[in-house]
Structure 1
Amino acid sequence: MLRWRSAAEVASGRLLDEVPQPYEFDDEYVPRPCVVHPTEVTEFPNWDMPEDLSERVGEWSDELEETTGISYYDAFTTNQSKVGGYPGWTQAPSWPHCVCGERMEHLLTISASESCGRWLPVEERTRPGSGWEVSDTLRDDSHGMDMGDAGGVYVFVCRACPDWPTVHRYDC
C-alpha cells in the first residue's frame, strides 16, 4: 500500500516506539528493522538505452573495466533500493503506461539486496583497496527480504493525472 503524506504531516507526528506488525504474517516476508542512509547520486540507465547506444556503452564499459576494474554498470547504474533514478531491471524493462496514455515515471525500487554493487552510503563502505566491499556484518544489516533471486519491486507514478495513480512491477 502506498500512501501520500506531506512533509508537515510527517513532521507533526509522533515517532513510533515499536515497529508495527501486520495482524498475520510470516517472518520471511517482513523486513528486519534497519537504518536508511540517504545518499544523493546521479544514475544512468542500464537496460533502457537505445540499442546502438547500448552497444557503444558496452564496448566502452569493457575498456573501462579492463583499465580500472570497474564497468559502466558498476559505476553508473544501481540495483539497490532507491527513490527516483532508473529501475534496476534484472529482466527486460517493463515500463507501465497510465490509463491517460502517459508512460509512468519510476518512483521507488525495493531491491532484494542492499549489499550489491558499488552504490553504498558512506556509512556502510569499507575500503580494502580500490573498490568498496561489504562486510558480512553489513550484509546482515540489510532488510533481509528475499524477492526471488536478485530482483525487486518497482513502483511507478503518473504525475500527469490529478490523483497520481501508482502501479508496480516485479522481476527476479
Structure 2
Amino acid sequence: MRDSSVGGPLLWPADEPWPMCGAEGHYEPLRRPTEVVGPEPVAMVPVVQLYARDVPELPFPAGTDVLQVVWCPLLHDDGVNVVSPRLYWRDERAVGAGALRSDRPEPYAADEDFVPRPCMVTPTRAVEYPNRDLPEGLGEALTDRFDEVERRFGVSYFEAATTIQSKVGGYPGWTQAPDWPMCRCGRRMAHLLSVTATETGPWHGDDDAPAGHGMDMGDLGGVYLFVCTACPDRPFAHRYDC
C-alpha cells in the first residue's frame, strides 16, 4: 500500500468506509439467469494508486501526494458511466499516521474485463504530440511531413505521436472521435490519466505483448479520466473509448 500500483492495495484509513456502488441496473454481461446484479451494493475495486514521488508531473492538489482511483467492476445501463470511477486525493503522511485498512471487501459480482491484476508501475517519461486532437486543417497541411516520418521510421505519425497505453497526462489515445468533457466553470477539463486495455506498438516494443494488468475492457477499450485544475474541489469526469 506504500507503492504506486495498478490494482494493488491502497493506503486507506481504517475508519473510512470502503466505496460501494449501489447504482440501479449495473450488470455483468455473462451473468445468468439474469444480467442485472443486485439489489445490494457492489464493492468497488482498486484500479490505480500513484504517489507524487513516482509521477511528480501529475497535478496533485496542495497538501496531497497520493492519487487513488477505484471503480465499479460492473457495467451500467446508461452506456456512459461504464465502470463509474471515483478519485481520492490523499496526504500520505497524514493517512499513514493513523490506523490503516488491512483488507477490503471483494465484489460479489464483477466483469473480469474491468478487474485489474495487481502489478507495480515503473513510469517512463515520453513527449507526446496530438493525434486525433490536431487543430482543424493541420493534418492535411502536414501530410508530406507525415509521409516522410513513415518512410524514415517505418511507423505512421498517427501511431507514434500519442501513446496508446495506460499513462498519466499527455493526450487521450482516442479510438473514437475526441470527446473532451467541459467543467461546470466553462473550461475544458485536462486529461489526467488513461487506463487502457493494451500496451502494444512502437512505444511498448512488442506488438504481441499483453497489458500487465490483464484487463480487456470490453472490446480492447480504455477509460480516460479528466480533471479541472482551476476549480478548488477538483471536479472530474471520464470517458470510455473502444
Q: What TM-score do you get using the length of structure 1 for normalisation?
A: 0.77
Asked if the contact 1:155–1:169 (Cα under 8 Å) also holds between the matched residues in 2, the reply is yes
1:118 corresponds to which letter in structure 2?
Answer: P
Structure 1 residues 46-84: Cα deviation after superposition (integer angstroms, max 9, x where no partner)? 011112212234442222212321222233211101111
Structure 1 residues 111-151: Cα deviation after superposition (integer angstroms, max 9, x where no partner)? 0112x12223xxxxxxxxxxx325x6x52x62111223232
Which structure 2 residue ranges, 5 or more long, are not aligned?
Answer: 1-85
How far residue 100 of structure 1 moved from its aligned partner, in angstroms, is 0.9
Residue of structure 2 equivalent to 1:166: 236
Size of the aligned set, in residue pairs, is 156
The answer to whether structure 1 residue 41 and structure 2 residue 126 are counterparts is yes
Distance in 2 (CA, whole Å) between partners of 1:21 and 1:38 is 29
How far residue 5 of structure 1 moved from its aligned partner, in angstroms, is 1.3
Structure 1 residues 71-106: Cα deviation after superposition (integer angstroms, max 9, x where no partner)? 222332111011111111110000011111111100
The answer to whether structure 1 residue 22 and structure 2 residue 92 are counterparts is no
- Which of 1 and 2 has higher RCO (CA within 8 Å, sep 6+)? 1
Distance in 2 (CA, whole Å) between partners of 1:85 and 1:161 is 20
Asked if the contact 1:57–1:72 (Cα under 8 Å) also holds between the matched residues in 2, the reply is no
Residue of structure 1 equivalent to 2:154: 69
Q: State the Cα RMSD in Å.
A: 2.6
How far residue 7 of structure 1 moved from its aligned partner, in angstroms, is 4.7
1:1-172 alignment runs, 5 A limit: 1-9=86-94, 20=104, 22-26=106-110, 28=112, 29-114=114-199, 116-120=200-204, 132-133=205-206, 138-139=209-210, 142-172=212-242
1:153 corresponds to which letter in structure 2?
Answer: V
Asked if the contact 2:193–2:225 (Cα under 8 Å) also holds between the matched residues in 1, the reply is yes
SS at 1:109's partner residue? Answer: strand
Distance in 2 (CA, whole Å) between partners of 1:15 and 1:25 is 26
State percent identity of aligned pairs. 55
Summarize the Cα distance change of 1:13–1:83 in structure 2 as closer, same or farther, 3 Å threshold.
Answer: farther
Which structure 1 residue ranges, 5 or more long, are not aligned?
Answer: 121-131
| Structure with greater proportional strand content | 2
Q: What TM-score do you get using the length of structure 2 for normalisation?
A: 0.57
2:220 corresponds to which letter in structure 1?
Answer: A
2:237 corresponds to which letter in structure 1?
Answer: V
How far residue 43 of structure 1 moved from its aligned partner, in angstroms, is 0.9
Asked if the contact 1:90–1:150 (Cα under 8 Å) also holds between the matched residues in 2, the reply is no
1:74 corresponds to which letter in structure 2?
Answer: E
